[in-house]
Amino acid sequence: MAFDVTSILAYSAGLLLTVVFFRLFFRPLKWLLKVLLNGIIGGLILVAINLVGGFAGLTVIITPLSALLAGFLGIPGIALTMILQNIL
């Protein structure tokens, strides 16, 4: 089976299009999974703070926004959530 230049170029273009397709559509999926995981971790941290802080009267309302803040920003996000809850 002999390959001529046209078929080699066609296979190369098809392979390149396949790689571009997977990079375009799976990167946003990876980012979305990272956001989801951070939100879950933030929500678990807020639940732990509510369990421990309940003895001292320190509780935080758990919403999707506060969970994402706690997940992305960590301790400063938790502090921001608590400060905003007391101000508002």
Helix H, strand E, coil C: the string for the chain is CCCCHHHHHHHHHHHHHHHHHHHHHHHHHHHHHHHHHHHHHHHHHHHHHHHHHCCCCCCCCCCHHHHHHHHHHCHHHHHHHHHHHHHC
55: in domain: yes
Domain count, the chain: 1
Q: Which domain holds residue 83?
A: 26-87
31: in domain: yes
Q: What pLDDT shows up at residue 2?
A: 63
The pTM is what? 0.64
Q: What is the pLDDT of residues 1-45, one digit of tens each?
A: 567 888 888 888 888 998 888 888 877 888 888 888 888 888 888
Q: What pLDDT shows up at residue 1?
A: 56
54: in domain: yes
Confidence of residue 73 (pLDDT cuts 50, 70, 90): confident
Q: What is the pLDDT of residues 61-70, one digit of tens each?
A: 888 888 888 8
Q: Which residues contact 34 (CB under 8 A, 6 or more apart)?
A: none
80: in domain: yes
Q: What are phi and psi of 57, to 5 degrees?
A: 80, 20
